[in-house]
Structure 1
Amino acid sequence: METRITEIADGIFRLSTFVPEIAPPSGFTFNQFLILGDEPLMFHTGLRRMFPLNRAALSRVIAPERLRHIAFGHYEADECGAMNEWLAIAPHAQVAHGQTGVYVSLNDMSDRAPRILQDGEVIELGGGKRVRYIGTPHTPHGWDAGVMFEEQTQTLLCGDLFTQVGDGPALTEGDVVGPAIAAEDLFRYSALAPNMGATIRSLASLAPRRLALMHGPSFAGDGAAALHALADDYDRRFRAASVQP
């Protein structure tokens, strides 16, 4: 395996590791995102066993010890498995997450005290970069789920939303909704909570120009339209599940 790094928006880098053995024959990508600034932020830590690959890739952009913020969508191995490895090499870094994630998991699992982010709270990274935390409980799964929005580049850090299989380009203007629907059919990974569609539509109000996917290519284009289409599919799934005997 190797971790490839690509700048998908001004000052935002995608670190991507493709694992062909997962979901064969298509394989599966695991992506982290580095946002530069005076206080750089990493969204997703990657799996603990992928830490050496990701550290080497990140080192091609900045010295790892410069990291100041570590964030992720929810508590799960591929989202935060290497959290403490990053904390060990970045002495001034702090994990930042919503209140539920901190109280339920991170106060115990993080080697340094985490920062609680309120819904809508902004972290100022410097250099014009600002990331806003948005809680999305149970969307697509996890009571502690949330996303982040980088306001300068209008990049939505989607976590597991729009998950797809395969090893596509780092950045695409093509369809990300159809492949996400296919992946949901394959994995059944979402919670199918009744408010899921509404939660995803609320993200569309941000009018993102970039969608940074954890599993799949990042998307450049009408992010709001893609989010509305994804929300429609989850509404359809929930209605279908509700009428089954």
Structure 2
Amino acid sequence: MQQIKIFDNLYMFNTYNPQINLSFNQFLLLGEEPMLIHTGSFQMTEALIPILKEILGDKSLSYIFVSHFESDECGGLSLLLEHFPDAKTICSAVTARQLMGFGITKNAVSKVPEETLVLNDLSFKFITYPSEMHLWEGLLAFETTNGLLFSSDLFIRMGEVTEPIVDSSLKDEVIRIAPHQIPDPSAHKAVQGILSELSLNYIIPGHGPVLKL
């Protein structure tokens, strides 16, 4: 697992799987109320926990954002909560239902698209994300203070991450959202429209390098 400091308040944790030629990212947003974006699989979380504790120091984890119910987004949540039991899981209502139904957490906070979360030094707006494969309602997290979009499985790049930040443009990235990523034509078009209107500086994907716009 690579630990990469993207900004002073943003760390990226990257694991490359050569069998499928894909990397997996988790991110830690530091601040007065630190937030982890995705847990990774159970095995990734085992490697991540000591790294988190070293970076956090005497702080604890306040929030864990889960964009949708899938192993690389929340597979290690139960283990993570053993070490950070007061952390609140932020997710959609359907993801909260799955997490609680499997007994993974009782402390899930569900958000709906367009709802906000204002912390002491950060502010989030949540965007609809009909995540494959069942089109369950997921969420993208738009951190409005710094113009960061935590984009889950959209805007992914295959291969190993050799450059943590690469240049791109929002227009090009939105056009590249493939129909199989949101396999409902109307939802696909709607998400493209919403994302096109955002004032973004960076796209922070679940797979691949950070995209500077």
TM-score, normalized by length of structure 2? Answer: 0.86
Q: Decide which structure has the larger Cα Rg and report it.
A: 1
Q: Any idea what SS the aligned residue of 2:137 has?
A: coil
CA RMSD in angstroms, aligned pairs only? 2.6
* CA deviation after TM superposition for structure 1 residue 34, in Å: 0.9
* CA deviation after TM superposition for structure 1 residue 10, in Å: 4.5
The residue that corresponds to 1:194 in the other structure is 185
The residue that corresponds to 1:14 in the other structure is 12
Once the two structures are superposed, residues 90-120 of structure 1 have per-residue CA deviations (whole angstroms, 9 ceiling, x without a partner) of 02101111122223x1221323331111322
Q: Which moved more, 1:142-151 or 1:153-162?
A: 142-151
Number of aligned residue pairs:
208
Once the two structures are superposed, residues 109-158 of structure 1 have per-residue CA deviations (whole angstroms, 9 ceiling, x without a partner) of 323331111322222332x2112222222478631221001111100000
The residue that corresponds to 1:230 in the other structure is none
Q: Any idea what SS the aligned residue of 2:119 has?
A: strand
Counterparts in 2 of 1:174 and 1:151: CA distance versus 1, 3 Å: closer
Structure 2 Cα separation of the partners of residues 117 and 98 of structure 1: 5
Q: Which moved more, 1:156-165 or 1:48-57?
A: 48-57
Structure 2 Cα separation of the partners of residues 64 and 212 of structure 1: 26
* CA deviation after TM superposition for structure 1 residue 207, in Å: 1.8
Structure (1/2) with the larger helix percentage: 1
Structure 2 Cα separation of the partners of residues 111 and 65 of structure 1: 21
Counterparts in 2 of 1:111 and 1:65: CA distance versus 1, 3 Å: farther
Answering whether residue 58 of structure 2 is matched by residue 71 of structure 1, we say no
Answering whether residue 144 of structure 2 is matched by residue 151 of structure 1, we say yes
Counterparts in 2 of 1:21 and 1:154: CA distance versus 1, 3 Å: same
Once the two structures are superposed, residues 38-68 of structure 1 have per-residue CA deviations (whole angstroms, 9 ceiling, x without a partner) of 1111111100011122123323421497111
TM alignment of 1:129-144, pairs within 5 A: 129-138=122-131, 142-144=135-137
1:209 to 193, 201, 213: 201
Asked if 2 retains the 8 angstrom alpha-carbon contact of 1:41 and 1:71, the reply is yes
Structure 2 Cα separation of the partners of residues 121 and 31 of structure 1: 25
Q: Which moved more, 1:76-85 or 1:115-124?
A: 115-124
Q: Which runs of 5+ in 2 are unaligned?
A: none
Q: Any idea what SS the aligned residue of 1:55 has?
A: helix
Once the two structures are superposed, residues 154-187 of structure 1 have per-residue CA deviations (whole angstroms, 9 ceiling, x without a partner) of 0000000012211132111157958x95x96xxx
Asked if 1 retains the 8 angstrom alpha-carbon contact of 2:68 and 2:131, the reply is no
Structure 1 Cα separation of the partners of residues 92 and 189 of structure 2: 21
1:37 to 31, 35, 47: 31
The residue that corresponds to 1:160 in the other structure is 153
Structure 2 Cα separation of the partners of residues 5 and 121 of structure 1: 31
Q: Which moved more, 1:115-124 or 1:138-147?
A: 138-147
Structure 2 Cα separation of the partners of residues 84 and 93 of structure 1: 11
Asked if 1 retains the 8 angstrom alpha-carbon contact of 2:67 and 2:92, the reply is no
Q: Which AA in structure 2 matches 1:129?
A: L
The residue that corresponds to 2:2 in the other structure is 4
Asked if 1 retains the 8 angstrom alpha-carbon contact of 2:9 and 2:29, the reply is yes
Counterparts in 2 of 1:200 and 1:60: CA distance versus 1, 3 Å: farther
